Chains A and B, each alone.
Chain A
Amino acid sequence: DAGITQSPRYKITETGRQVTLMCHQTWSHSYMFWYRQDLGHGLRLIYYSAAADITDKGEVPDGYVVSRSKTENFPLTLESATRSQTSVYFCASRSQRVRNTEAFFGQGTRLTVV
């Protein structure tokens, strides 16, 4: 099915472990984004990518690494997970071809770091 999918939907990991959250979109959108959603903070931008091999930091990038070797995939890696990274993570995408186009979001990954 067309759309944007995130995996896993739920993840529990231990402090200090590396964990990768996956995001895949089938629209060939140029732009992809990672946000985290926390009570009291709302959604905040972690990283984004304008095209394959082009990434840039958002508001809260520390502790995260991204890559984009293919247009359709945008994985987010926590190199050494901390409890403060317990959150719900959302991936989003947006077309570049159409001006003023909407951003579309995945269903989210709920990550718990214990």
Chain B
Amino acid sequence: KQEVTQIPAALSVPEGENLVLNCSFTDSAIYNLQWFRQDPGKGLTSLLLIQSSQREQTSGRLNASLDKSSGRSTLYIAASQPGDSATYLCAVRPGGGADGLTFGKGTHLIIQP
């Protein structure tokens, strides 16, 4: 059974810092990996999707990398802003025909002004 772990569970940093959120998964047979942002009381907003054949994806100040063989992904946030405060979720789509995403429990990020 696929398991997804996110470290750290919570992170508080001053504004302007570059930071890295980590995601690991136990079964490397994935179709893709998706990073989401969730604000309190809200739904999930898709940030980046990395296909299993890709090594990284970039969107603005966000960069996500994927090392499928080692079961790891990182989300890099450059020049953090208070508006980046949210919970960040990592999810993998299995490669074996079953559908639906398997989620990590998230990293709760606070950017201090």
Measured between beta carbons, the chain B residues less than 8 angstroms from A43 are 89, 91, 101, 103
Measured between beta carbons, the chain A residues less than 8 angstroms from B46 are 102-105
A102 and B49 contacting across the interface, CB-CB below 8 Å: yes
Number of interface residues of A (CB under 8 A): 25
Once bound together, how far apart are the Cα atoms of A41 and B3, in whole Å? 11
Q: Give chain A's interface residues, CB within 8 Å of chain B.
A: 31, 33, 35, 40-45, 48, 50, 56, 58-59, 90, 92, 100-108
Q: How far is the CB of A106 from chain B (nearest CB, A)?
A: 6
Q: Give chain B's interface residues, CB within 8 Å of chain A.
A: 31-32, 34, 36, 42-46, 49, 51, 89, 91, 99-106
Pick the residue among B34, B102, B104 that contacts A102 (CB under 8 A). Answer: B34
Pick the residue among B31, B101, B104, B105 that contacts A100 (CB under 8 A). Answer: B31
Once bound together, how far apart are the Cα atoms of A25 and B20, in whole Å? 34
Q: Is the interface of B mostly helix, strand, loop or mixed?
A: strand
* For the complex of A and B, 4 pairs with smallest distance between CB atoms: A45-B100, A105-B44, A42-B105, A43-B103
Return 21 A-B CB contacts under 8 Å, by A number.
A33-B101, A35-B100, A35-B103, A40-B105, A42-B104, A42-B106, A43-B101, A43-B103, A45-B101, A56-B99, A58-B100, A102-B34, A102-B46, A103-B34, A103-B91, A104-B46, A105-B36, A105-B44, A106-B43, A107-B42, A108-B42
Once bound together, how far apart are the Cα atoms of A84 and B97, in whole Å? 30
Pick the residue among A40, A101, A103, A106 that contacts B101 (CB under 8 A). Answer: A103
Measured between beta carbons, the chain B residues less than 8 angstroms from A33 are 99-101
Once bound together, how far apart are the Cα atoms of A83 and B82, in whole Å? 37
Once bound together, how far apart are the Cα atoms of A108 and B43, in whole Å? 6
Measured between beta carbons, the chain A residues less than 8 angstroms from B34 are 102-103
Pick the residue among B51, B99, B105 that contacts A50 (CB under 8 A). Answer: B99
Chain B residue, CB-CB nearest to A96: B99
Chain B residue, CB-CB nearest to A33: B100
Q: How far is the CB of B8 from chain A (nearest CB, A)?
A: 15
Measured between beta carbons, the chain B residues less than 8 angstroms from A103 are 34, 46, 91, 101
